[in-house]
Amino acid sequence: MIDPLLFKRGMRRLASGVSLVTTIEPGGGPKGFAATSVTAVSAEPTPSLLVCVNRQVSCHGALHASGVFCVNVLSEHDAAMAQLFSSSEHRDRRFLDPRWESLATGSPAFAGALASFDCEVVSTMEVESHTIFVARTVEIRLWGEDVQPLLYVDGRFDGLRLAVAPTGTA
Ligand SMILES: Cc1cc2nc3c(=O)[nH]c(=O)nc-3n(C[C@H](O)[C@H](O)[C@H](O)COP(=O)(O)O)c2cc1C
């Protein structure tokens, strides 16, 4: 039996990019939260990605109900947005920034992000405490060039200090 705390300590060493995952609650307003669990699944034939959402996250029901969401990949300049979207303290202030727009699905797209992936859910899978939402991307915006991504590692937000391309890649 693995100690869940040991699992969490190990996972704190896994550096990840940070995204804001947003949706529009049917008959309601915008919702969203900060996520490191976004993963590209496939570029072809259908550009697809997934995100793992704890069922206790307040927009979990809205994600199910709307069937759409937008993944907004944050730059190193937006650690404050990541904090706002990962703390339940000021949920009502999450969409006050004037840089929020919307793309094809109507889910909030953050023009201050590095990139936004507007998505339609194609399948879900319940795994332990989380739902995995697999989605196809219907619109993409690349907002920022020459800006570094926001990283989350060892419980804190950070930027990239060293960029070395793996041998043999473009
Ligand atoms: C850097 C970071 C990444 C996170 N990634 C995820 C994630 O991928 N999935 C998830 O369910 N919660 C994740 N969380 C936790 C949620 O962001 C946090 O519980 C948030 O407050 C949930 O939104 P709510 O307050 O509206 O319920 C993450 C938190 C942080 C700080």
Domain assignment present for 131: no
Distance CA 46, CA 27 (A): 29
Condensed to tens digits (0 to 9), the pLDDT of residues 145-159 reads: 888 999 999 999 999
Residue 98 lies in a domain: yes
Give the type of residue at 132: I
**E strands in 83-114:** 100-102, 108-110
Residue 18 falls inside a structural domain: yes
For position 148, what pLDDT does the model report? 93
| 33, 83, 152, 153: residue to mutate for ligand 1 pocket, most atoms within 8 A of CB | 33
Specify the ligand 1 atom closest to the Cα of 51. 8
Enclosing domain of residue 107: 4-38+58-116+141-157
| 3-state SS, residue 35 | strand
Ligand 1 centre to CA of 89 (Å) is 13
Domain count, the chain: 1
CA of 20 to the centre of ligand 1 (A): 9
CATH at residue 18:
2.30.110.10
In a domain, 109, yes or no: yes
User: CB of 16 closer than 6 A to ligand 1?
Assistant: no
For residue 85, give Cα distances in angstroms to 54, 74, 95, 122. Answer: 14, 12, 10, 25
> Residue 39: CB within 6 Å of ligand 1?
no
Query: Does the residue 112 lie in any domain?
Result: yes
The DSSP element (H or E) to which 136 belongs, if any, is: strand 130-142
Residues 31-80: tens digit of each pLDDT: 999 999 999 999 999 999 999 999 999 999 999 999 999 999 999 999 99
